[in-house]
């Protein structure tokens, strides 16, 4: 009779397949590995002395920290993200034109006072394209904001969901990458009624 337990055979076949894949993988890795120091330098030259890969990661962290500071309404953190001569344009048109311009670090930080209008918020980065050029960089990113506005005498607690586009210019300072210019454009929005969370007593 044929065996009814295929587990040992299956394990043997998987082991053989795994070994074959490992050999193929090591072969491909060996083929892709630089043969000498000159080749190795060529594969890493895109980072250059400015460390563009590390810089790009630092800018992505800057974007996330910005959203965190807005959601937590943390002015101290928010301040560290901008240069002293920064400009922040809010409520710009979708193409980045018009809007209200806040110039200088004090005006930029004061803009965070507007976050007091909502009780809670969650900002999430959807995508971001960053281009580094030495000690300056540009960025174009999208985010989604969920803003919870408290109930009023005439309206229930409301959730505003908004699509946002940020067009940025960054500069690398002695304190790391900072935003020198940001243009904030709301793209779309819808409102809904908030549902209360049933927290345990």
pLDDT tens across 144-182, in order?
A: 999 999 999 998 999 999 999 999 999 999 999 999 999
| Residue 93: φ, ψ to 5° | -65, 160
Euclidean distance between CA atoms 33 and 11, whole angstroms = 32
Q: How many CB atoms lie within 10 A of CB 62?
A: 21
Residue 17 has pLDDT above 60, yes or no: no
Residue 135 has pLDDT above 90, yes or no: yes
Euclidean distance between CA atoms 29 and 64, whole angstroms = 34
Q: What percent of the chain has pLDDT over 90?
A: 68
- pLDDT 10s digits, 18-67: 444 443 443 443 444 444 433 333 333 333 344 588 999 999 999 999 99
Name the pTM for this structure. 0.73
> Which top CATH class is 52-193?
alpha beta
CA angle 35, 39, 43 (to 5 degrees): 120
Q: Which of 17, 148, 165 is closest to 92 using CA atoms?
A: 165
Mean pLDDT, residues 183-196 taken together: 95
- With contact defined as beta carbons under 8 Å apart, do 149 and 117 qualify? yes
pLDDT band, residue 201 (cuts 50/70/90):
confident
Q: Which residue has the higher pLDDT, 134 or 33?
A: 134
Q: What is the pLDDT of residue 52?
A: 80
Please count the CA atoms within 13 angstroms of the CA of 7 that sit on its side-chain side: 1
- Domain extents in the chain: 7-44, 52-193
Residue 14 has pLDDT above 60, yes or no: no
| Residue 48: φ, ψ to 5° | 60, -175
């Amino acid at each position: 009779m044929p065996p009814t337990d295929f587990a040992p055979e299956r394990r043997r076949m998987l082991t053989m397949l795994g070994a074959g894949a490992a050999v193929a993988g090591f072969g491909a890795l060996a083929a892709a590995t630089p043969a000498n120091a000159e080749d190795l330098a060529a594969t890493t030259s895109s980072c250059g002395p400015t460390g563009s890969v590390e810089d790009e990661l630092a800018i992505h962290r800057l974007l996330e920290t910005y959203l965190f500071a807005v959601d937590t309404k943390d002015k101290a953190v928010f301040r560290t993200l901008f240069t002293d001569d920064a400009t922040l344009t809010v409520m710009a048109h979708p193409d980045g034109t018009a809007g209200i311009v806040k110039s200088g670090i004090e005006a930029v930080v004061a803009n965070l006072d507007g976050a007091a209008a909502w009780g809670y918020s969650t900002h999430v980065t959807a995508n971001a394209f960053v281009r580094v050029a030495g000690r300056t960089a540009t960025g174009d990113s999208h985010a989604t904001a969920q803003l919870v506005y408290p109930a009023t005498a005439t309206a229930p607690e409301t959730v505003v969901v908004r699509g946002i586009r940020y067009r940025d210019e960054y500069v690398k300072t002695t304190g790391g990458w900072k935003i020198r210019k940001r243009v904030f454009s709301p793209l779309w929005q819808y409102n809904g009624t908030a549902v209360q969370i049933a927290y345990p007593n």
